[in-house]
């Protein structure tokens, strides 16, 4: 649920007049994304999504995200294409916020991904990595290993409110990952947040990848590890080997993994689990009064982290020697 900024009809009509999209026909706040305000927009030219960027997205990063979507869309990745206004700019301003209009993508999120969905995701993720390989801009991943300890330190003292033993577990895991984090893996643009909410399907075919606002330059295999965590566990947070194998096999058919990537995979999976454990933990403790968003439970990612800690090597995930 995410409509933070309300847009009135007069502002919107004036904004739309700077585009070549015909008259305003309809605009409805939609429950999509958690970082921004999103609207379904219908104009004389068709259907679009209007996004207003809220404070959590740094305005200086917006050109990276918008150029990336344009770059990927031009290479056949089914992602939203930013629409340029009459001055040739994708980024505008509406209701005091940076704002863009992007193309509307049909498709719907899958609540219970099956093996076929995981396979489709693996193939699309590999295609995204290949399509982004010649993208010239770079963006540091602020939520990688260097960022985790400072993030946890902002509220480490309250860890026992969430789970018994959590503080010691996270401290030990940070020690482990800081010592063992792989540094020289093949890298480039990654999505970094490709959860089921951000992937649209029509049947078993992927029709859209959305929400590129965590995209950054990092190891490709780390993106794969994020997807494994998000897609290949059941509702009780138990790893599903057939889904994991489908994801990884489909990925490797399009972008083969190096032996270094395979060797590092359990560490990457632990890191990916810790990253979402920590951000959910911080959000959980910092729900603002009157918030219209319910935070997600960090303990889901604690369970996933524990699973990966028990993995001796990448064979657990169906890859490696």
Instruction: In whole angstroms, give the CA distance from residue 304 to residue 238.
Output: 8
Number of residues that bind its own copies (CB under 8 A): 34
Closest CA to 274 of 301, 297, 295, 300: 301
Instruction: By CB under 8 A, tell whether 3 contacts its own copies.
Output: yes
- One residue of 14, 20, 23, 258 binding its own copies per CB under 8 A: 23
Q: Which of 21, 32, 145, 281 binds its own copies (CB under 8 A)?
A: 32
Among 14, 17, 22, 31, binds its own copies (CB under 8 A): 31
Among 20, 161, 202, 204, binds its own copies (CB under 8 A): 202
Say which residues have a Cβ less than 8 Å from residue 70's Cβ, sequence separation at least 6: 81, 82, 90
Q: What is the DSSP letter of 78?
A: -
Interatomic CA distance for residues 314 and 310, integer angstroms: 11
Least distance (Å) from its own copies to the CB of residue 10?
A: 7
CB of 6 to its own copies, least distance (A): 9
* Rounded Cα distance, 196 and 234, in Å: 13
The neighbour count for residue 141, using CB atoms within 10 Å, is: 19
Residue carrying the six token digits 């629409």: 83
Q: Does 28 bind its own copies (CB under 8 A)?
A: yes
CB 217 within 8 A of CB 140: yes
Cβ 22 to its own copies, closest distance in Å? 12
Does 8 bind its own copies (CB under 8 A)? Our answer is yes
Cα–Cα dist 22/250, whole Å = 42
Count Cβ neighbours within 10 Å for each residue of 287-321 and write b for 16 or more, e otherwise: eeeeeeeebeebbbbbbbbebbeebeebebbebee
* Interaction of residue 27 with its own copies, rule CB under 8 A: yes
Min dist. Cβ of residue 290 to its own copies (A): 7
Q: Residue 80 has what DSSP assignment?
A: P
Residue 24 CB, nearest approach to its own copies (Å) = 6
Q: How near is the Cβ of 170 to its own copies at its closest, in Å?
A: 27
Rounded to a whole number of angstroms, the minimum distance from the CB of residue 292 to its own copies is 5
Q: CA dist 263 to 32, 207, 257, 268, Å?
A: 36, 32, 10, 10
Name the residue nearer to its own copies (CB basis): 199 or 248. 199
| Nearest in space to 307 (alpha carbons), one of 223, 216, 244, 224 | 244
What span, in angstroms and rounded, lies between the C-alpha atoms of 116 and 107? Answer: 16
Per-residue contact string for residues 86-115; x = within reach of its own copies by CB under 8 A: ------------------xxxxxxxxx---
Site string for its own copies, 131-170 (x = CB under 8 A): ----------------------------------------
Residue 10 vs 184, nearer CB to its own copies: 10
- Ranges within 37-96 binding its own copies (CB under 8 A): 40, 42, 47
Nearer to its own copies (CB atom), residue 37 or residue 127:
37
Instruction: Kindly list the residues in this chain that would bind its own copies in the complex (CB under 8 A).
Output: 1, 3, 8-10, 12, 23-32, 40, 42, 47, 104-112, 200-202, 290, 292, 294
């Amino acid at each position: 649920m995410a409509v933070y900024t309300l847009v009135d009809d007069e502002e919107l009509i004036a904004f739309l007049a700077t585009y070549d999209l015909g008259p305003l026909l309809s605009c409805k706040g939609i429950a999509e994304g958690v970082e921004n305000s999103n609207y379904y927009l219908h104009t004389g030219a068709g259907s679009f999504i209007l996004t207003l960027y809220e404070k959590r997205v740094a305005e200086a990063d917006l050109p990276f995200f918008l150029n990336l979507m344009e770059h990927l869309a031009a290479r056949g990745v089914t992602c939203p294409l930013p629409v340029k206004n009459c001055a040739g700019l994708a980024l505008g301003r509406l209701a005091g916020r940076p704002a863009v209009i992007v193309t509307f993508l049909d498709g719907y999120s899958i609540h219970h991904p099956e093996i076929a969905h995981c396979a489709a995701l693996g193939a699309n993720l590999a295609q995204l990595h290949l399509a982004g390989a010649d993208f010239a801009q770079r963006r540091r991943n602020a939520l990688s290993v260097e960022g985790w300890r400072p993030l946890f330190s902002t509220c480490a003292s309250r860890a026992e409110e969430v789970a018994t033993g959590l503080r010691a577990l996270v401290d030990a895991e940070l020690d482990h990952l800081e010592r063992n984090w792989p540094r020289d893996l093949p890298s480039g643009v990654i999505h970094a947040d490709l959860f089921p909410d951000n992937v649209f399907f029509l049947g078993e075919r992927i029709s859209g990848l959305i929400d590129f606002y965590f995209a950054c330059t990092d190891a490709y295999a780390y993106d794969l590890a994020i997807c494994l965590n998000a897609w290949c566990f059941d509702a009780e947070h138990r790893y599903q080997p057939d889904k994991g194998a489908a994801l990884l096999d489909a990925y490797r058919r399009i972008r083969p993994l190096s032996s270094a990537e395979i060797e590092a995979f359990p560490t990457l999976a632990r890191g990916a689990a810790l990253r979402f454990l920590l951000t959910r933990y911080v959000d959980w403790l910092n729900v603002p009064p009157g918030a219209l968003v319910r935070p997600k439970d960090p303990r889901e990612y604690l369970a996933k982290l524990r699973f990966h800690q028990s993995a001796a090597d990448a064979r657990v995930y169906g890859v490696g020697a």
